[in-house]
Structure 1
Amino acid sequence: MSQAAPGKSHREGISLIELTEMFPDEASATAWFEQMVWPKGKRHCPRCGCTETRKASATSGLPYYCSGCKRAFSVRIGTALERSKVPLRKWVFAIYLEMTSLKGVSSMKLHRDLKVTQKTAWFMLHRIREAWSTESASLFNGPVEVDEMYVGGRRKNMSNAKRRELKDTGRGAVGKVAVVGAKDRATKQVKAKVVESTDRATLHGFVADAAAPGATVYTDEAVAYEGMPFPHETVKHSVSEYVRDMAHTNGIESLWSMFKRAYNGTYHHLSEKHLNRYIAEYAGKHNLRNFDTINQMAAVAAGMVGKRLMYRDLIA
């Protein structure tokens, strides 16, 4: 894959007309996916890894044959596309629409645009999100911004009893799902995940998994962050302090703003069960934002290799 473009304004986009010209038929889409799955044309069996492969017989129903395990295979096998009956050309367009829509694509829109059922469109989008299901293990050298966000639990949808509880306790996060994220100012990369709580042990553990030893960490004044084994500075949001010299969390908060625009404008409601998939998607899209569009798509296709998502597991 080529290097990232120097900035969002300099990256090369692709119009829908250009995409149609690039992928005029199923053969062109298949060739592109094969290039993503088998870089430099080094085709190998997705089951046993054998590189001794050849074209399969027409009766096999699949294009390639492995001399090692004696089984036929296609570019879909061993990826999040395995057992999908949707044409690969439609998968290309689905990835394009998802990557070029800042607020994401709803399953209803994908259903209309690709002429598939809404159920199929919903499953397709979750398969695409599998590209981001494995987070990078690399640590941020910093400075690192860390912040939390709370999703769901709108007060207007709560019972009067629940509203009184929030008013009496002042705990605005009651009934919401917590998400914590980190942004490396040096690389502009982010990490984010759903957490069960925002207590001391959870937040300290998240920071330890995100920041390299010695990295300066910036947070708000939440007590749970106190005592971290990192150089640590805070801003006091409670008294409307949002920037103090180098201390602020504006970078990671921009990710929350983008996610909330998608939540309110596209999805409207997200199941707590699937929330981490959406969070991983928006963190992943943020990390690819300076890439040319075709390279963003390539990163997603490559990220789907080695992933498998069954519909029964998705709805269980």
Structure 2
Amino acid sequence: MAYRCKDCRKHFSVRTGTVLAESRLPLIKWLLAIYMLTSARKGIPSTQMARELGVTQKTAWFLAQRIRETWMGGNNDKDKMDGQVQVDETYVGGKEKNKHADKKLHAGRGAVGKTAVVGMRDENGVVRATPIKRTNAATLVGFVQDNAPEGGAVVTDEFRAYNGLSALGYTHKTVRHSVGEYVRDMAHTNGIESFWSLLKRGYIGVYHYMSEDHLHRYVNEFSFRHNTSKVGTINFINMTIDRMVDKRLTYKDLTNG
């Protein structure tokens, strides 16, 4: 707290009003952590980050979550995406057969016990994704309306929740995966599905578990890193620092969901 405001007489520093506020970690460790999350395409576990930074696993986990928080809700996220978009949903979570007996829901297989995530990819390769409570028409069509250009082309699979898109003025193109069709007239959902593959590789091979309470940050981590894959390291760090303002996240707020 090296400075003091002449008007209010309160002390402040470069960390004040940012996600860095009241952090006791040196700024160099923050920069190293940002670099680690940048360079590891499938993510980096808090245990490895702790070893490399010389901090505890709890500190590394809190540090990583605060960095992910800075990537949430950028200004560009409020704009409509460009051109023809691909929309798809997936499920994130462990398999029922691999869970402890007291954790099993005994309600079937497949998506049981997992969290749904919906995503969109535009013609420039930009991805937006977010966890959702339900995969009904209101939720999925609402996601399309919030992000796709009005009256634009939307490509989905044959899931019937998307059937109302044409009535809303969208050019709705459907790819029938159930009969082995993956491309129709150059329309496909391969781009967003490749993003799901990357997300799940990170889940299975790196993080092993993503709490439903924090899943939105992990999903945003992968989409932000995907969208900035061609940005140099220094520019990426600068982008992260620009987003740190007004992104305070306390440990109490984090652990209380």
- What is the aligned partner in structure 2 of residue 108 from structure 1? 47
- What is the aligned partner in structure 2 of residue 191 from structure 1? 128
CA drift at 1:134 = 1.3
Is 1:125 the counterpart of 2:64? The answer is: yes
The DSSP-based 3-state class of the residue aligned with 2:164 is coil
Q: Percent identity?
A: 50
Unaligned runs of 5+ in 1: 1-61
The DSSP-based 3-state class of the residue aligned with 1:146 is strand
- What is the aligned partner in structure 1 of residue 38 from structure 2? 99
CA drift at 1:165 = 4.2
- What is the aligned partner in structure 1 of residue 195 from structure 2? 255
Is 1:89 the counterpart of 2:28? The answer is: yes
Structure whose alpha-carbon radius of gyration is higher: 1
> How far apart, CA to CA, are the structure 1 residues paired with 2:16 and 2:112?
43
Paired residues, number: 250
Q: Which amino acid aligns with 1:251?
A: G
- What is the aligned partner in structure 1 of residue 13 from structure 2? 74
TM-score by length of 2: 0.92
Deviations 1:15-52 (A, max 9, x none): xxxxxxxxxxxxxxxxxxxxxxxxxxxxxxxxxxxxxx
Deviations 1:230-284 (A, max 9, x none): 1100101111211112210111112111111110111001111110110111111
CA drift at 1:83 = 0.6
Counterpart contact for 1:103–1:259, Cα < 8 Å = yes
- What is the aligned partner in structure 2 of residue 26 from structure 1? none
Q: Which amino acid aligns with 1:289?
A: S
Counterpart contact for 1:140–1:215, Cα < 8 Å = no
The DSSP-based 3-state class of the residue aligned with 2:116 is strand
Instruction: Give the one of 211, 223, 238 matched to 1:283.
Output: 223
- What is the aligned partner in structure 2 of residue 178 from structure 1? 116
Unaligned runs of 5+ in 2: none
Deviations 1:48-100 (A, max 9, x none): xxxxxxxxxxxxxx222322322221111111111100000111100001100
The DSSP-based 3-state class of the residue aligned with 1:217 is strand
- What is the aligned partner in structure 1 of residue 93 from structure 2? 152
> How far apart, CA to CA, are the structure 2 residues paired with 1:163 and 1:195?
20
- What is the aligned partner in structure 2 of residue 220 from structure 1? 157
TM-score by length of 1: 0.76
Counterpart contact for 2:129–2:223, Cα < 8 Å = yes
> How far apart, CA to CA, are the structure 2 residues paired with 1:290 and 1:267?
24
